[in-house]
């Protein structure tokens, strides 16, 4: 019988005594050498075969920052696939990092429970003009006071150049040098915990970027059995997949252990293919939870998926993958299509008030029913699953950035419609995600940008963007920003401006108020009891979409009435007992025209009104 292979951690593994164990998995190679540059002088030593494709070398007295590479039989020097530090970019040697020497101050940190998560998505490079981890620190208290409880940080794994969304990373273990590297990220997480904020890190386990991708030289990290939109899929279930699986499992544990992150957002899990009996997603979740339990805090493993598949979060014993949460894109699509009128692409399946009502009621609008866009049935039913397991948004990096010019709601909607979108999101039973700047109506765009070195790749990206948007009538624009141009990146840097009395200040006030009410109103903390229906009125004009009436909570119920139309609508009869109007998105303090002193018999265009116990009005104030 063949000996069971051992799957081991890789990279330059360190200890407090300056000792380093280099381990490389290179089953495609007969031998490998470790190349180092102590005091700038090249030194090469043959690594010891360890079996099953692994090679090792150990040394003492190593200084942090020592450059090293692996020399393979083809005669070339390669950076470490499991490099913790690429100080000189993706094509240059790796460097030794001692992550355990960072002086953490968060030893009393116990995390944020899932039901209290309010996610705030950040792109490090455009969040501030400096574009570094350290530059984020002064904004942390401000976000906590707004009502945010967790930063969701777009990928920080080392990518080529200095301008990138992060999804073209090629060193999953190394933190982008231009952002401040590993030390900068550790400082950010430590400071965030000090401000009461959790940190969820976006990680990409479905593909590697095209430039600086040397994985194929070492072993079968990829498989031709499956294809993703970005090329061959990662080998999670083929020959030699055991070491590949361990590579990613160890990576998830590293973020929790060495960087104290509170969760992982797994990018596009529908492009992670594994037909094995125990799915790689389950193994990642289990390992991350075990690592977090040793630190006495929770960790949230959340999948981004467009499949509307509850198997991702169902318990393993019930045939699921056991993840902690999943994105619910249908909420975004329902709100966006209804308020903008766009119907191209996947918005073909949305646009009616009934879609919004179903998103509130059932989370997935397409939960096994027929999708015209896909020309097939799509999704599965959510049933009684806790709604806090589903992440909903009205804007995010994909939905904004994958528009031709990266236009936010500020470029698409009226102020009243932006306030309505805010109210719908923050009164949803799902876990809300805000996209940086959304809370004050940021007007600067968030287009796609990159900074590749390969001229052929640069032109291919430009051509691909033009071809993609040419097929979308509402997207097409001959003046599509050049993703490679520094000006495109610069246009996305947040303005951070909300002058007193301006629309931006008033919108931010509404976000802050509704985030406060999510914490205090019992009906909004109840994630299990939500109903929604559309109220029609045959006498209304064609541009009227119908009112959406939402009821939140069991006892002490809140009733929400939303008018997604551009016209004033009569208030429908509501069974609200002694309840009164206690909040409107169109109140004067939020920039609208609603006077709350009198009865409400009509709803203004794009107005949302909340009815409840009058004493709750005090909380609202």
In Å, how far are 138, 179, 263 from 191, measured between CA atoms?
10, 16, 16
499 CB burial (10 A radius; 0-12, 13-18, 19+):
exposed
Catalytic residue among 190, 237, 250, 304: 304
Name the catalytic one among 211, 267, 398, 439. Answer: 267
- Provide CB contacts within 8 A for 130, sequence distance 6+: none
Residue recorded with tokens 């960087």? 259
Query: Dihedral sign, CA of 241, 242, 247, 252?
Result: positive
Question: Phi and psi for 233 in degrees, rounded to 5?
Answer: -75, 160
Non-local (6+) Cβ contacts of 259 within 8 A are 99, 182, 185, 186, 189, 201
Catalytic residue list contains 267: yes
d(CA 219, CA 580): 66
Token pair for 549: 């009436």
Give all strands of the β-sheet with 547-552 in edge-to-edge order. 530-535, 547-552, 558-562, 608-612, 580-584
Residue with tokens 């060193």: 171
- CA distance readout (Å), 208 to 100, 439, 458: 27, 32, 17
Helices of type H across 328-444: 329-340, 353-362, 397-401, 415-426
CB 392 within 8 A of CB 425: yes
Which residue(s) pair with 203 in the sheet?
Answer: 266
Q: Write out the two tokens for 353.
A: 């008030």
- Six-digit token pair at 266? 């797994």
**Burial letters 568-599, b for 16+ CB under 10 A, else e:** ebebeeeeeeebbbbbbbbbeebbbebebeee
Tell me the catalytic residues: 267, 304
């Amino acid at each position: 019988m063949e000996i069971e292979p051992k799957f081991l951690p890789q990279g330059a593994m360190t200890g407090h005594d300056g000792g380093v164990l280099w381990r490389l998995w290179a089953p495609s190679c007969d031998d490998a050498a470790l190349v180092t540059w102590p005091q700038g002088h090249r030194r090469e030593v043959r690594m010891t075969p360890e079996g099953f494709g692994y090679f090792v070398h150990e040394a003492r007295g190593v200084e942090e920052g020592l450059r090293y590479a692996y020399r393979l039989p083809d005669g070339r020097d390669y950076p470490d696939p499991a490099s913790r530090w690429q100080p000189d970019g993706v094509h240059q040697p790796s460097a030794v990092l001692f992550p355990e020497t960072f002086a953490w101050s968060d030893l009393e940190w116990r995390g944020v429970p899932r039901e209290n998560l309010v996610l705030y998505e950040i792109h490090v490079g455009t969040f501030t003009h400096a574009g570094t981890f350290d530059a984020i620190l002064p904004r942390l208290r401000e976000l906590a006071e707004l009502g945010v409880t967790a930063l969701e940080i777009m990928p920080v794994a080392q990518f080529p150049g200095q301008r990138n969304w992060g999804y073209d990373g090629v060193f999953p273990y190394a933190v982008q040098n231009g952002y401040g590297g590993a030390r900068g990220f550790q400082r950010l997480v430590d400071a965030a915990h000090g401000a009461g904020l959790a940190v969820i890190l976006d990680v990409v386990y479905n593909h590697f970027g095209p430039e600086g991708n040397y994985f194929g030289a070492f072993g079968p990290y990829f498989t031709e059995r499956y294809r993703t939109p970005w090329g061959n899929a990662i080998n999670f279930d083929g020959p030699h997949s055991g070491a590949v699986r361990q590579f990613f499992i160890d990576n998830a544990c590293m973020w929790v252990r060495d960087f104290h992150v509170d969760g992982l957002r797994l990018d596009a899990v529908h492009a992670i293919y594994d037909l094995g009996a125990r799915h790689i997603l389950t193994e990642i979740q289990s390992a991350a939870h075990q690592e977090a339990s040793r630190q006495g805090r929770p960790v949230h493993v959340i999948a981004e998926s467009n499949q509307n598949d509850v198997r991702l979060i169902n318990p393993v014993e019930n045939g699921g993958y056991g993840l902690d949460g999943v994105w619910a894109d249908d909420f975004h699509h329902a709100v966006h299509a209804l308020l903008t009128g766009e119907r191209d692409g996947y918005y073909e399946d949305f646009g009616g008030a009934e879609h919004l009502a179903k998103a509130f009621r059932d989370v997935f609008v397409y939960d096994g029913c027929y999708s015209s866009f896909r020309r097939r049935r799509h999704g599965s039913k959510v049933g009684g699953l806790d709604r806090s397991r589903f992440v909903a948004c009205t804007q995010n990096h994909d939905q904004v950035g994958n528009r031709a010019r990266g236009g936010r709601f500020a470029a698409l909607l009226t102020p009243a419609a932006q306030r309505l979108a805010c109210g719908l999101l923050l009164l949803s039973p799902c876990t809300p995600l805000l996209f940086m700047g959304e809370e004050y109506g940021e007007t600067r765009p968030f287009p796609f940008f990159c900074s590749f070195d390969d001229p052929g790749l640069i032109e291919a990206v430009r051509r691909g963007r033009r071809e993609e948007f040419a097929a979308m009538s509402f997207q097409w624009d001959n003046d599509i920003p050049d993703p490679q141009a520094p000006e495109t990146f610069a246009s996305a840097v947040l303005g951070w401006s909300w002058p007193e009395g301006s629309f931006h200040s008033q919108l931010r006030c509404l976000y802050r108020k509704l985030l406060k009410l999510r914490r205090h109103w019992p009906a909004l903390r109840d994630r299990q009891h939500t109903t929604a229906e559309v109220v029609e009125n045959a006498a209304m004009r064609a541009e009227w979409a119908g009112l959406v009436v939402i009821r939140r909570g069991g006892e002490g119920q809140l009733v929400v009435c939303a008018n997604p139309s551009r016209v004033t609508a009569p208030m429908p009869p509501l069974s609200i007992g002694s309840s009164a109007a206690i909040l409107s998105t169109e109140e004067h303090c939020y920039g609208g025209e609603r006077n709350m002193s009198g009865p409400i018999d009509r709803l203004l265009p794009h107005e949302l009104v909340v009815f409840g116990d009058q004493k709750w009005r005090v909380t609202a104030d």
